[in-house]
Every structure is written in C-alpha cells, then in structure tokens.
Chains A and B, each alone.
Chain A
Amino acid sequence: MIRRLALLLALLFAASLLIGDGIVALPHGIILAQVRLPRTLLGVMVGGGLGLSGAVLQGALRNPLADPGLLGITGTAGLGAVIAFYWGLAAHFAPALPIGGLLGAAIGAGFLLGFAGRAPSGPSLILAGVAVSAIAAALLALALTLAPNPFALAEITFWLMGGLGDRTLSQVALAALPILLGGAILLRLGPGLDALSLGEDTARSLGVPVSRTLHQAAMGTALAVGAGASVAGAIGFIGLVVPHLLRPWFGERPGALLLPAPLAGAALLLVADMLVRLAPLVLPMSAAPPVGVLTALLGAPFLVAIARRAAP
C-alpha cells in the first residue's frame, strides 16, 4: 500500500512538471527547472509536512479535528514570515524568512500545548485554535497594512490562503531543512502516539514519556509547518483531510498513519495545485488562483462531514 502511494506521488510529480499556467506541455529548460520544479518540490514538501503534522496532531491530541491550520499554527507561522519579509529582513539575510515562519509556528504550537495541558477536551482545544487563527489573521492584516511596499496589502490572499506559484529554488532550499528535520522528529513518535491513544494515564503506565512526546509533536509540527508556511502561505485542510482519507486503508492506529501521511499530503497538494493551474483553461480568469483556495473549498465540506459524524 505504501509502495502504491509512493508510486502515485511519483506519477503526480511528473505530471506536475508537464502542467503550466493554463498550458499542458513539456516546457523548455528554464521554465522546467526554475518555475515548475520549485513549484512541484514545494508542493511535495509543504503537502508532506502538513499531512504528517495532521496525522501526529490528531493522534497526540486524540482529536479528529486537529490540523495545523485549524489550530492556528500555520496562521502564526505566516505572521512571522510576513514580518520577516515585508520589512526587508529576508532581503538582507535570506534564512530570516523560514526563521520568521518557524518562530511564529513555535509560538502558536507553544500556546496550544499549554492550553491542551489545562483543558484537554477536544472541542475547547479547537476553539482555542480558532481564536489563535483569528488573532494571527488580524495581526497579519495589520502587518500588511503597515508594510512599506504599496503592493503588500493586496497579497493578504496569498498569506491567508497559501499558494505555490512563482517560487524560486532557493526558497525551496531554505524551507527544505526545517521541514525534513521536523518530519524526522514526527516520524519517530509512532509508538508514543499509539500508547497515547489509550489515554495519558495508560500511556504513562506503559512507560511512555507523555509530556516529552507532546513537546516533540509540537516542535516537530512547528518545524514541518512553519518553514513551509513562510514560502507558501497558510495552505489549509491538507493536515485535516489526509489522516481521515488514510484510516480506511491503514487502520485507526496513529502510528500506522505516520509513514503514509506525508506521501498522501504531498500527493493531495500536487493534485490541488495542478487543478488550479488548469483552471484558467476552463474558467474566465487571467491567472491561476492560489492553491489554498481549492484546498479550502474541498476541505471545508470535509470538516463539516467529520463534525457531523463526531456529533452525538
């Protein structure tokens, strides 16, 4: 099953290189290497990070609605990146951009961790996440209003919805290290998450260091999501949807989802990105919309479905 998922991802990767902005053709060298390759690589990295973070958060928090977007972590990451970008920090020191995203994500994840410790019930944690998201979005809008470049405010859609268009290979490289590092931390949490699914007390009695597992989940999520959001904005719902799509195939055990989740997240984001790039062919628009528009349009009804199933 994992092999099939990996094969699917490889096929989607190749297809993504063939599809341009409203064009389907193998492009010449520069477009392939400098436009479509960074876009595709970023889709794999960001989608992978979101998918894996979603699987870990749903396991660690024992909450089927947990998602880095809904919990506000991508929102605070975007805020950190915006501050680093529009005031010229990243122009002078390129790593400032992912560092801004990571710091923002760490603040969001840290707040959530503290909140989860005091009020572990599912709905209240999601509500706290909604509040974090709202604050992050408001501060983001404020920051873009204050930003010295006159185009800044118009770019709020990119940061709030997320997009993969017109990014550079150097931005891919900047985001790669934190995402890989975060992924490595998260992938090792399987046994801890499996034990946690039986409840924190049971997990403790099984010898699982509960608070360390939760801390690592938060830190790994901040790394895997923060750097991605700093170059691709707050792409939503991938982390929420992926674990639910995988459970029928891989079972309910959180640990069993960790390996397929990044593959499925990457595949899902690549598909969504290809669809938005083809949108100008069928819809009256001059440029492809940001991919986050589509992930939200597809993901939000999914959220409603999960909420309805979870309702008593």
Chain B
Amino acid sequence: MPPLRRLGGGGLGWGPLARRLPFTAALLLWAMGFPACAADHVVSLNLCTDQMLLLLAPEKIAALSPLSRDPALSVVAPQAAHLPVVQASAEAVLRLHPDLILAAPFGAQATLALLAQEGLPVLRIDLPADFTGIRQQTRALANALGVPERGEALLAAMDATLAALPHRDHAPHAVAWEPRGLTAGPGSLMDAVMRAAGLINASDGGHMGLEALLQHPPDLLIVPATPEFPSLATALLDHPALAALRRRAIPPALTICAGPFTAQAAVMLAQ
C-alpha cells in the first residue's frame, strides 16, 4: 500500500547509501563474499523480495512472507498460494535452515539482526524508484540466486514492453492520487511509470484534497484500483465530483514494489 511505498522512499539508513552507491546490492554481495549460485534454500521476509524471488528462482524458495499471497498486493499471489510462508520471526526462520534471507531496507530489524548474529546471510535490497534501478536490482538478485540468465530474460521482456509503448506528440498532464489525498511526486516509482507512459506528472508530491484536485483538474487521474473492501480513504477516490475526469485505475500490486512487472503499469497508463 502507499504508506509502505512512502516508507521505502524514506530510506531508514539504507536509502542514502543506496543513492550514493547505485550498485548497493551487488556491492553487498561482493562484500559478503557470496559465490554465485551459493543459495538454494532461500527465505524472503518482504513482499518485494517475495515477488522477485518467485520470478527468478521459484525452485529455491524455502518460504515467502504471508503478504505474497495477497492478490491486492502481490503480482505472484496465485503461485504463492501453493508455496510455504513464514512470519518474520527469528525462531520460525531458523527452523527452515535457509542459506540466504532476503529482506527490505525497513521492517523486522530486530529479527534480522538476530538472524545475522546466528551467522545466516541476510541480503537487504533497496527499493528502486525507476526502471534503471529495477534493472540493477534484478541483475543483482539474479546473480545472488545464481540465475543471471533468468534476470536478463525478465529484463529483456520488460524493456521490450517499455519500448513498445506508443510515442505521444502532446503529453497529457496527470495526477496519481492516492488514498488520503497523497500524490506521487518526482522521484517516486509512479512518477517513473508516468514518464515511461508519456505523461507529465502535474503534482509536486504534496497532499492534495478533493477541492484542490478539482480546482486544477488534470487531463488524467491515476488512482489505485478499488480494493475489495471499502474504507473512507479509498471511497474518496470514487467521489462523484470526480466523475467528469478521465481516470485510469492501476492495480496497486504493480507499483507497491518495483520489479519487471512494473512496466505493465506503464502499459495501462499509455492505453
């Protein structure tokens, strides 16, 4: 969900490092001395690493996080439904005897520290905010899992999808409006998706209320697809005052985590 993504952008310690060193993940692998193809019993504790692990090396999965099964959040939910899941607790993870643990820059800090203390290799990935970052991360993870050719195949498909996006002569202005009036500003993954789809992001990333949005209506309103169960925050996205605006609903799973699948969001926006 958006709060998750915002947290990711915040960078709790790892973000700044990643910005300075674009190849953080690869560098980490090198620093930790992972030989290629060392890991074949991998636990993922984060929704984003869940999806990358399942796309790259499903046969090496020891367990995924429970969120991987949520179709509203995960693009691999149907496949994950048949795979084991584990909560981010040190005890449960140790019982699986993994030889690699994948995690995100935030969350489960204490658990991960404990696992690292037990001598288990923990790989924390950063959350890319554009397609260049997705390419770097996919390659780094594919190498760590010993399946570089699968990484290249995923990226080739992604780049083919992006290259096939139609060119626009007149770029429409768009606002990506999220529950509670948050908007996606420059530097966010959605901003990269909008640029890839030939849209101009009309928001600076601040809060935008219903009235502010209607005061300067964009050519296109981008909203997350309506969830199965309502809340006031998500119901606001369907307020009748917005009925006249052209809108495109994007499944949140495509942009919560950045991955080769994120290109699909650009395809949906370009249509």
Interface, chain A (partner B; CB < 8 A): 20-21, 23, 27-28, 30-31, 34-35, 85-88, 90-91, 147-152, 154-155, 158, 166, 168-170, 286-288
Contacts and interface: CB of A to CB of B under 8 A. Distances in A.
Closest 4 CB pairs of A and B: A34-B241, A149-B231, A286-B207, A148-B229
A152 B231 contact: yes
A166 B212 CA distance: 12
B232 interface: yes
Given A21-B211, A27-B211, A150-B1, A87 B229 contact: yes
B231 A35 contact: no
Tell me which of B210, B227, B230 has the highest count of chain A C-beta atoms within 10 A of its own C-beta. B230
A287 B229 contact: no
Contacts, number: 77
Contact of A168 (B231, B240, B244): B240
B239 A166 contact: yes
Contacts of B1: 150-151
Contact of A30 (B180, B207, B214, B229): B214
Contacts of B206: 286
B179 interface: yes
30 contacts: A21-B209, A21-B212, A23-B211, A23-B215, A27-B214, A27-B215, A28-B214, A30-B244, A31-B211, A31-B215, A31-B241, A35-B241, A87-B229, A88-B228, A88-B229, A147-B229, A148-B229, A149-B229, A149-B231, A149-B234, A150-B1, A150-B231, A151-B1, A151-B231, A154-B180, A166-B209, A166-B236, A168-B241, A170-B240, A286-B181
A28 B211 CA distance: 10
Interface string B85-102: 000000000000000000
Chain B interface residue count: which class? 20 to 34
Contacts of B227: 149
A44 B239 CA distance: 21
A34 B232 CA distance: 17
Nearest to B244: A30
Contacts of A169: 240
Given A23-B211, A287-B209, A88 B240 contact: no
A151 B240 contact: no
Interface string B173-212: 0000001110000000000000000000000001101111
B210 A91 contact: no
Tell me which of B181, B209, B212, B240 has the highest count of chain A C-beta atoms within 10 A of its own C-beta. B209
A21 B236 CA distance: 15
B113 interface: no
A98 to B, nearest CB: 15
B211 A151 contact: no
A86 B212 contact: no
A31 B181 CA distance: 16
Contacts of A35: 210-211, 214, 239, 241
Interface string B215-229: 100000000000111
B233 interface: yes
Contacts of A91: 230
Contacts of B239: 34-35, 166, 168
Contact of A151 (B210, B228, B232): B232
Nearest to B4: A150
Contacts of A85: 230
Nearest to A148: B229
A20 B211 contact: yes
Contacts of A149: 227, 229-231, 234
A155 B239 CA distance: 17
Tell me which of A88, A166, A169 has the highest count of chain B C-beta atoms within 10 A of its own C-beta. A166
Contacts of B181: 286-287
